[in-house]
Amino acid sequence: MLKELFSKLPRRADDARFEIKVCMLGARGVGKTSVITSMYNSQKEAVLGTGLFLKADDDTSAMLNDKRQQLEKLFHGVHMEDERLISSGISGDSQETKFCFSYGMNSEKINIDMIIRDYPGEYLKSDPDMVSDFVREASAVLIAIDTPFLMEEDGKYHLAKNRLDLVADFLMNHLSSDEEKLILFVPLKCEKYYKENRIDEVLEKIKKEYGGLISYLRDKENLHGFKNKICCAVTPIQTLGDVVFDSFETDQNGNIVEISTPEGMRVPAHVFYRYARTNAAYRPENCVQPLYYLLSFISKQYEKAKQEQRQSGLLGRFMAALRLVPNVDKFIMEIDHLGRRRLDGTKGYKILFGRGRI
């Protein structure tokens, strides 16, 4: 109660901080919260040895700890290679969630805040204005994709699960030219395709399935007003590591057992995954890559804004906000170092357009 009261008090002016906003779009149950959990866990390790720290606020910590325990539970006990585990075709929640993090340098106080909001696909239809307000202010939009639904059965269930129609419609109607934007396609649960050396197929399939949206963004990027405002990349992730997609549940005739989503679309009732090895463990891989992309994007934006300021003598919006950050040049340098760890042109990672600005 007291905490609630305090959080409503306006921050003092000298408390004002630079905020990076990130919007995560994706249908219910694709694994948005799980991936943010794995991202945070890996990021904590990733900043070791650098001058930076990342911390989550109390509510975010509690949420992520909960989720982490849930994910680790999948690996409790003794599991044999190829043993199967099952998950519902439409698990997950349909709540929007807000995660608050802060970045800082060890020697300084906190420098910037990072707010990640995840919005289930349904919100794009029921409350587009709310999402749109946040997207307008966001530096990055992450489009979370359940990869087995994209890849298996010739992509038969992709539309029903990933609702690319809603995501594409929304972005086509709500992108404003006010802010520069990093748009990342983030295929999740890619373990199977890495292990089978098929990650490039995933990349090709994304380019094909999201081709309409990608060319719309690319065209827009070339339009007056938008010029050099949008960059776009594909950053695949393995949320769990030692668990791979196995199959969709079938009946005794070998037909996939389907159920209806609340929107009346047919999806598999259950999905089987299996452990990739005996003594499988929670070993997320590359989850922190989208963050590296974001940091690299921010540091490039900073360099550009600085140059513009030098040329015009005017303080742009970006620089005005960053002015609040103590020791900003050193901080950006640290961020840039981390950003350089991003993968590019390998393991299914690909900048689709905007190279040089990410």
Interacting residues toward ligand GDP by CB under 6 A: 26, 28-34, 70-71, 87, 91-93, 188-189, 239-240, 243, 273
**Contacts of the segment 333-336: beta carbons below 8 A, 24+ positions apart:** 333/299, 334/50, 334/51, 334/52, 334/105, 335/52, 335/103, 335/295, 335/298, 335/299, 336/295, 336/296, 336/299
2-32: burial string, b at 16+ Cβ within 10 Å, e else: eeeeeeeeeeeeeeebbebbbbbbbbbbbbb
At its nearest, how many Å lie between ligand GDP and the CB of residue 333? Answer: 34
> Interface residues with Mg ion (CB under 5 A)?
32-33
At its nearest, how many Å lie between Mg ion and the CB of residue 102? Answer: 21
Return the residue nearest ligand GDP (CB atom).
92
Of 91 and 176, which CB lies nearer to ligand GDP in the complex structure?
Answer: 91
At its nearest, how many Å lie between Mg ion and the CB of residue 120? Answer: 7
**Tokens representing 197?**
């050396």
What does 240 interact with, of ligand GDP, Mg ion, none (CB < 5 to 8 A by kind)? ligand GDP
Question: Are 56 and 40 in contact, with CB atoms under 8 Å apart?
Answer: yes
Looking at residue 42, its amino acid is S
Of 28 and 79, which CB lies nearer to Mg ion in the complex structure?
Answer: 28
At its nearest, how many Å lie between ligand GDP and the CB of residue 148? Answer: 9
Of 29 and 339, which CB lies nearer to ligand GDP in the complex structure?
Answer: 29
Give the containing element (helix H, strand E) for 60.
helix 58-73
Of 69 and 215, which CB lies nearer to Mg ion in the complex structure?
Answer: 69
What does 273 interact with, of Mg ion, ligand GDP, none (CB < 5 to 8 A by kind)? ligand GDP
At its nearest, how many Å lie between Mg ion and the CB of residue 34? Answer: 8
Of 64 and 305, which CB lies nearer to Mg ion in the complex structure?
Answer: 64
Return the residue nearest Mg ion (CB atom).
33
**Which DSSP string corresponds to 246-288?**
EEE-B-TTSPBPEEE-TTS-EEESEEEEEESSTT--B--BSTT
